[in-house]
Amino acid sequence: MSKEPPSTSDNPAQEGSEYVFRLDTRKLREIAERNGGGTGYAIARRAGISESSAYRILSGEAQPDLNSAMRIAEAYDIDLRTVIKRIPVEAAA
């Protein structure tokens, strides 16, 4: 794990607490809704991932693997960094 601070800092190179990356499902839904549908079904169809995976990702039950995350990003023509957030390890547990 990295020793960089959580995303609340403007300088990600500062030393600080450990963090993990998580998909920001709120941002993903907003982007998906602007592009024709923010449901798990619509995201699954557009990104080419399973519907159950899409629903688990949107509910926060699961995080996408890199392949699924890239498929989602490409399907909505977004930079993956725009829908990924840093969360302190303590908050992610």
Average pLDDT (57-78) is 94
Query: Does 3 fall in a domain?
Result: no
Task: Look at residue 35 and tell me if it is in a domain.
Answer: yes
pTM: 0.73
- Domain count for the chain, please give it: 1
Q: Is residue 75 part of a domain?
A: yes
Domain boundaries, position 62 = 25-80
pLDDT for the residue 78: 93
In CATH, what number is assigned to the domain containing residue 45?
1.10.260
pLDDT tens column, 1-58? 444 444 444 545 444 579 999 999 999 999 999 998 889 999 999 999 999 999 999 9
Interval 31-44: pLDDT, tens = 999 998 889 999 99
The radius of gyration computed from the CA coordinates of the chain, to the nearest angstrom, equals: 14
Model pLDDT, residue 6: 45
> Is there a domain that residue 93 lies in?
no
Residue 39 lies in a domain: yes
Asked if 2 contacts 18 with a C-beta cutoff of 8 angstroms, the reply is yes
Distant-in-sequence, close-in-space partners of 70: CB < 8 Å, separation ≥ 6: 80
Separation of alpha carbons 47 and 55, rounded Å? 13
Q: Which residues contact 59 (CB under 8 A, 6 or more apart)?
A: 25
